[in-house]
Amino acid sequence: MRWLSTIALHVLLLWSVTATAAQPPKQAYVSSAHPLASAAGIEILKQGGNATDAAIAVTAALAVVEPYGSGLGGGGFYLLRHAGKKTNYQFLDARERAPLAAHANLYRINGVVSTKLSLDGPLAAAIPGIPAALDELSQKHGRLSLAENLAPAIALARNGFAIDKVYQERASWRLAALQKDPESARIFLDQQQLPKTGWILRQPDLANTLSLLAAQGAKSFYQGPFAEKLVQNIQNAGGIWSLKDLALYQVKWRQPLIVPLAEQRQLITAPPPSAGGIAIAQSLLMLQRLPWQQAKPAQRAHYLAEVFRRAYRDRSLLGDPDFINNPIDALLARQHIVQMADSIQVDQATPSSHLPPGSVLYEGDHTTHFAILDQQGNAVAATLSLNMMFGAAFTVPETGVLLNDEMDDFAADVQGSNAYGLIGSQVNSIQAGKRPLSSMSPSFLEGPHEFAAFGTPGGSRIPSMNVLAMLEFLNGKAPQQWVASPRIHHQYFPDVLGFEPGALTEQQQQRLVKQGHEVKELTRNYGNQQVLWWQKDSGHSAAASDPRGSGASLSH
């Protein structure tokens, strides 16, 4: 294993891989959480667009057909692979920012934090990044025009589409909040009630907003009459956005986190303000010191739980890099990884309370992910979010823009926990203009012979899901097995090894309990992973969409 000094890591973050004589992918792929969004991406590829063009089309289409997971009122992270004589990677941070009027006691009433205020309504909304990201991606790396790339989404919004069981289920989870907001109820419900499958969802206001964006770019959203309409409606409903908030918003190009692994592979993943990328890197580095491949299922679950326990503990040290100095070097240093791995006992769980202090970030778990590979070898993996299902459940009148509730991803109460039982962290406290910490972690694994892309929604479970899929890849399994493998999870606190229904047998559970784990079978499956794979020696490529969702992996 090649370990990095502080200087070497900084060099590595600027490093690009010299491409070998790879055979270009024989087929392009788009894998997303909704068939109509995947089809929008394929349509753009057929028109001569590249992976970035398709990413713009898929992002916009998901805003229409999957309003519970992402949208123009939200944000996200984009990881890009640029093919050529040298393979270069980029990371676009389109995470939302806290309004300038936000402060540490924003949700505190009479000394007590009200979680309801950070979840529902416009006060819960941070300044969105997706409109700016679409324009930035188009200008910097698009081959087609922004108008061409947004055309499929505009048609979907204007003409409508039939909702499926996934929409119906997720709307049911937020029914009361949607009913409370007249505009959201008008658009997303059928006469105030949960719509039946097959009901046609039409969003003409959103189509108009997308058309404005297509014609004038991001300035149409963040400045001028449209911005004034947003701010006036949000302030009238109790929010704190200002025109200055919108005018000052910018996406950020950041250096992706690149970490060498065994067998000449490297992990390319999300840097802060994602905490997920570092958790994935730490987990993989620790696992390289453990015999996880030879272990039987219960013992492998033990190793994974102990690795996740330690990686998740360190996330409390991370925050928005524009506000704090993140200790990336220290968290990935050889000494730290070895110390954590060597503290794992073969037959005994380590109680989280026995580890040095740490805490876990706030986070919602309802996001979306897509992965795209074009026939030149360019790739995009993106994870997008509104936070809770349907975000703040507040739609700005006459715009079709459903707002996020990402302010709940801050530690509104650094001494307490949020709706997900996750402990607060001072470095992730609310501050004007700050980006909340996230687990969203679109990732690549690349070596001389293979390239793979990973990502999923799932809040705090995103890093563990990505690691589990990566282990299937490292074991030589096919992409459909990466996304279908049973899932287990540990996040330091609460000190519980959770698992999907049926992921562990009774006998395996008993062994884990004997080792000191508290095990808990979850009530439902989780995640919606989208992956792709390219065998560079042959040019063969493939993709897979999580069977737990209703997404589709389409080829061209």
Residue spans of alpha helices (H) in 127-223: 130-141, 146-159, 165-173, 175-180, 182-188, 204-216, 219-222
Show Cβ contacts of residue 354 under 8 Å, excluding neighbours closer than 6 positions: none
| Catalytic residue from among 52, 87, 269, 367 | 367
The tokens for 510 are 């008993």
For residue 109, the model assigns a pLDDT of 87
Residue 400 one-letter amino acid:
G
Query: Domain boundaries in the chain?
Result: 26-252+367-402, 254-363+441-555
For residue 423, the model assigns a pLDDT of 46
For residue 10, the model assigns a pLDDT of 41
Give the H/E segment covering residue 330: helix 328-332
Angle between helices 334-342 and 276-287 (to 10 degrees): 60
Closest CA to 95 of 299, 382, 330, 334: 382
For residue 473, the model assigns a pLDDT of 98
Show Cβ contacts of residue 60 under 8 Å, excluding neighbours closer than 6 positions: 40, 134, 149, 150, 152, 153, 154, 210
Cα gap 116→123, rounded to integer Å: 10
Q: Is 399 a catalytic residue?
A: no
Cα gap 287→306, rounded to integer Å: 10
CA 184 to chain centroid, in Å, comes to 24
Cα gap 130→132, rounded to integer Å: 5
For strand 497-499 and strand 519-521, is the pairing parallel, antiparallel, or unpaired?
A: parallel
For residue 417, the model assigns a pLDDT of 46
For residue 358, the model assigns a pLDDT of 60
Q: How far is CA 345 from CA 342, 348, 351, 356, in A?
A: 8, 5, 11, 16
Q: Give long-range contacts, CB 8 A cutoff, 24+ apart: 191-197.
A: 194/168, 195/163, 195/167, 195/168, 195/171, 196/168, 197/162, 197/163, 197/164, 197/165, 197/167, 197/168
Q: How far is CA 237 from CA 154, 180, 404, in A?
A: 28, 12, 15
State phi, psi for 238 to the nearest 5 degrees. 105, 5
pTM exceeds 0.75:
yes
pLDDT means per 10 residues, the chain with 556 residues, are 38 42 93 98 98 98 97 98 94 98 91 87 97 98 98 98 97 97 98 97 98 98 98 98 98 98 97 97 98 96 98 90 94 96 96 76 74 98 96 98 94 52 64 94 97 96 97 97 97 95 97 98 96 97 97 96
Beta strands in 315-404 (DSSP E): 366-373, 379-387, 395-396, 401-402
What does CATH list as the number for 254-363+441-555? 3.60.20.40
For residue 466, the model assigns a pLDDT of 98
Q: Is 442 in a helix, a strand, or coil? A: coil
State phi, psi for 189 to the nearest 5 degrees. -120, 160
For residue 273, whether the previous peptide bond is cis, meaning omega lies within 30 degrees of 0, is yes
Cα gap 245→209, rounded to integer Å: 19
